[in-house]
Amino acid sequence: MNLQSLQAALRHTLPEGRILTDEPALSAFGQDWSAFAAPRPAAVALPQSVEELRSLVAFARRHRVGLVPSGGRTGLSGGAVAAAGEIVVSLRDLNRVLELDPVSRTLRVEAGAVTRAVQEAAAGAGLYYPVEFAASGSSQIGGNVATNAGGLQVIRYGPTRDWVAGLKVVTGCGEVLDLNRGLVKNASGYDLRHLFVGSEGTLGLIAEVTLRLTAPPGPRRALLLAVDELASLPELLGRFREALVLNAFEFFCDAALGAVVEARGLARPFAGAAPWYALVDFDLGAANAGDAAGLEGEAMAVALGIAGRAVAAGLAADAVVAQDDADTRRLWRLREGISEAIASRHPYKNDLSVTVSRLPGFLAELERVIRAGYPDLEVVWFGHLGDGNLHLNVLRPPGISAIAFRERCEAVNDAVFAVVDRFEGSVSAEHGVGLFKKKYLHHSRSAAEIAAMRGIKAVFDPDGILNPGKLIDPL
Ligand X SMILES: Cc1cc2nc3c(=O)[nH]c(=O)nc-3n(C[C@H](O)[C@H](O)[C@H](O)COP(=O)(O)OP(=O)(O)OC[C@H]3O[C@@H](n4cnc5c(N)ncnc54)[C@H](O)[C@@H]3O)c2cc1C
Classify burial at 185, counting beta carbons within 10 Å of its beta carbon; exposed 0-12, middle 13-18, buried 19 or more: exposed
Q: How far is CA 456 from the centre of its chain?
A: 23
Shortest gap between Cβ of 408 and ligand X (angstroms)? 23
Beta bridge partners of 380: 393
Shortest gap between Cβ of 80 and ligand X (angstroms)? 4
Shortest gap between Cβ of 253 and ligand X (angstroms)? 17
Judged by CB, which is closer to ligand X: 109, or 310? Answer: 109
Judged by CB, which is closer to ligand X: 150, or 234? Answer: 150
Judged by CB, which is closer to ligand X: 406, or 431? Answer: 431
Q: What is the CA radius of gyration of the chain?
A: 23
Residue 71: what residue type? G
Shortest gap between Cβ of 469 and ligand X (angstroms)? 11
> Residue 375 has what DSSP assignment?
T
Shortest gap between Cβ of 418 and ligand X (angstroms)? 25
Residues 224 and 329: beta-carbon distance below 8 Å: no
**For residue 58, which of 173, 164, 137 has the smallest C-alpha distance?**
173
Distant-in-sequence, close-in-space partners of 175: CB < 8 Å, separation ≥ 6: none
Q: How far is CA 188 from the centre of its chain?
A: 30
DSSP β-ladder status, 220-227 and 164-171:
unpaired
**For residue 84, which of 24, 40, 33 has the smallest C-alpha distance?**
40
Shortest gap between Cβ of 121 and ligand X (angstroms)? 17
SS3 96: coil
Beta bridge partners of 88: 44, 68
Judged by CB, which is closer to ligand X: 80, or 223? Answer: 80
SS3 461: coil
Judged by CB, which is closer to ligand X: 89, or 230? Answer: 89
**For residue 334, which of 433, 268, 242, 430 has the smallest C-alpha distance?**
268
> Residue 44 has what DSSP assignment?
E
CA–CA dist 472, 454 (Å, integer): 7
Task: For the beta carbon of residue 357, count every other beta carbon within 10 angstroms.
Answer: 11
Start-to-end C-alpha separation, the chain: 25
Shortest gap between Cβ of 425 and ligand X (angstroms)? 16
Shortest gap between Cβ of 352 and ligand X (angstroms)? 13
CA–CA dist 79, 149 (Å, integer): 13
Judged by CB, which is closer to ligand X: 170, or 356? Answer: 170
Judged by CB, which is closer to ligand X: 131, or 316? Answer: 131
Minimal CB distance to ligand X: which residue? 143
Alpha helices in 170-270 (DSSP H): 193-196, 232-243, 254-264
Residues lying near ligand X in the complex (CB under 6 A) are found at 32-33, 68-76, 79-80, 91, 111, 133-135, 139-140, 142-144, 146-147, 149-151, 200-201, 205-206, 339-340, 430-432, 434, 467, 470
CA–CA dist 63, 2 (Å, integer): 11
Judged by CB, which is closer to ligand X: 196, or 362? Answer: 196
Phi, psi of 19 (to 5 degrees): -120, 120
CA–CA dist 454, 447 (Å, integer): 11
Judged by CB, which is closer to ligand X: 133, or 282? Answer: 133
Judged by CB, which is closer to ligand X: 373, or 425? Answer: 425
Judged by CB, which is closer to ligand X: 77, or 232? Answer: 77
How many angstroms separate the Cα of 329 from the Cα of each of 115, 277, 430?
A: 20, 16, 24
Residue 327: what residue type? D
Judged by CB, which is closer to ligand X: 303, or 471? Answer: 471
Shortest gap between Cβ of 33 and ligand X (angstroms)? 4
CA–CA dist 443, 256 (Å, integer): 28
